Amino acid sequence: MKPRRLQVRAQISLNAIIQIISLPDSESGPAIRLSEDLEILCCGNDYLYRCYKIYSKFEFMRSMFEIIDVCYRLSCHPILHFDMHGSAINGLKLSGTGEYVTWTELRDWLRTINSKTQCNLMCIFAVCHAFKMILNVEITKLTPYFILIAPRGKIRNSDLEKRMAPFYASAIQSRSVNESYNIFLMEKFEIFHAEKMMMESIAKYFRQSCMGRGKQERIEGLLSEFKTRNPPGTEIDLAVVRQFIRSRIKPAQWVIDRYRETFLQGRSCSLDIEDVLSLLR
């Protein structure tokens, strides 16, 4: 039997495309041609378009501050598109100075930007190894992006030229990122969806700590902790305490709501406890 997969139905609200280019002049042709296509596409669909050509870490940081400001002042919900070289170990390489923006540094910038979009940030990386970004995501903190699309390994210019412009045209005109991804990018790019990642993480937690042997071990551990927190000689009805603990570690919607407030900045989810439980059956 094939494992169940969650189908996320949430829509992302987008109204801008911001392109960030840091490539040697001899390699920037495809990115420049894409920028021309994107500017025309945005103009015809009432989207804001901006393009940053950067060469150093200082210029990268300045562009991030400007994007944060734009998102805050103009209620901008952008697709951030990155055209750069990437290293699985070092992160984004800046073409002028050869400096790197580490994946961790980038995650922190994107988390700040996402906080200004009410968790409506989408990132597309025409950058080798950029899917490594998801290793830095923790559901106990705000996600750095609601959707990430990036290659897991190396990506060729020919694939970018063939796929990117049609993807953007389809995604903006149809307003369906998932369908456009499936048609144009799925073969060469991976997709990360924050809501899906959160639900799968919660399902894993339920399976390990709220079911079977893991559940029993957790009950006994919490019961022992409760005993140590009460003064010696205190009368304790262990049956009542055990029943209370069982009720609190049972898979429930409140667990999803708790993490949703932090990880998704409180935005509504298209999935609920029944969807999570379907992964456990």
Q: Is the pLDDT confidence value at 233 over 70?
A: no
User: What pLDDT, on the 0 to 100 scale, is given for residue 1?
Assistant: 42
User: What pLDDT, on the 0 to 100 scale, is given for residue 8?
Assistant: 82
User: What pLDDT, on the 0 to 100 scale, is given for residue 139?
Assistant: 94
Chain-centre distance for alpha carbon 101: 18
Average pLDDT over residues 41-56: 96
d(CA 30, CA 40): 16
207, 280 Cβ separation under 8 angstroms: yes
d(CA 87, CA 94): 11
- Tell me the per-residue pLDDT of 68-79, one tens digit each, with 9 for 90 and over: 999 999 999 999
Q: Is the pLDDT confidence value at 96 over 60?
A: yes
d(CA 224, CA 95): 57
- Tell me the per-residue pLDDT of 107-141, one tens digit each, with 9 for 90 and over: 999 999 999 999 999 999 999 999 998 988 999 99
User: What pLDDT, on the 0 to 100 scale, is given for residue 2?
Assistant: 46
User: What pLDDT, on the 0 to 100 scale, is given for residue 281?
Assistant: 77
User: What pLDDT, on the 0 to 100 scale, is given for residue 4?
Assistant: 61
E-state strands within 119-251? 122-126, 147-150, 190-193
Average pLDDT, the chain: 92
Confidence of residue 218 (pLDDT cuts 50, 70, 90): confident
Read off φ and ψ for residue 70, nearest 5 degrees: -60, -45
Average pLDDT over residues 47-65: 97
Q: Is the pLDDT confidence value at 239 over 90?
A: no
Q: Is the pLDDT confidence value at 49 over 80?
A: yes
User: What pLDDT, on the 0 to 100 scale, is given for residue 232?
Assistant: 73
Q: Is the pLDDT confidence value at 59 over 60?
A: yes
Lookup result for tokens 């598109």: 81
User: What pLDDT, on the 0 to 100 scale, is given for residue 119?
Assistant: 97
d(CA 86, CA 231): 58
Confidence of residue 161 (pLDDT cuts 50, 70, 90): very high
Q: What is the pTM of this model?
A: 0.90
DSSP character string of 53-94 = E--SHHHHHHHHHHHHHHHHHTT--EEEEEEEEEETTTEEEP
Q: Computed from CA positions of residues 87, 82, 151, 34, in that sequence, does the dihedral angle turn out positive or negative?
A: negative
Question: Do strands 16-22 and 122-126 pair parallel, antiparallel, or not at all (unpaired)?
Answer: unpaired
Compute the half-sphere exposure of residue 244: CA atoms within 13 Å on the CB side of its CA: 9
Average pLDDT over residues 57-69: 98
Average pLDDT over residues 205-230: 83
- What does the block give as tokens for 255? 């667990």
Average pLDDT over residues 137-151: 96
Q: How many CB atoms are closer than 10 A to CB 36?
A: 11
Which has the minimum average pLDDT: 58-62, 184-188, 198-202, 250-254?
250-254
User: What pLDDT, on the 0 to 100 scale, is given for residue 34?
Assistant: 97
- Tell me the per-residue pLDDT of 20-44, one tens digit each, with 9 for 90 and over: 999 999 999 999 999 999 999 999 9
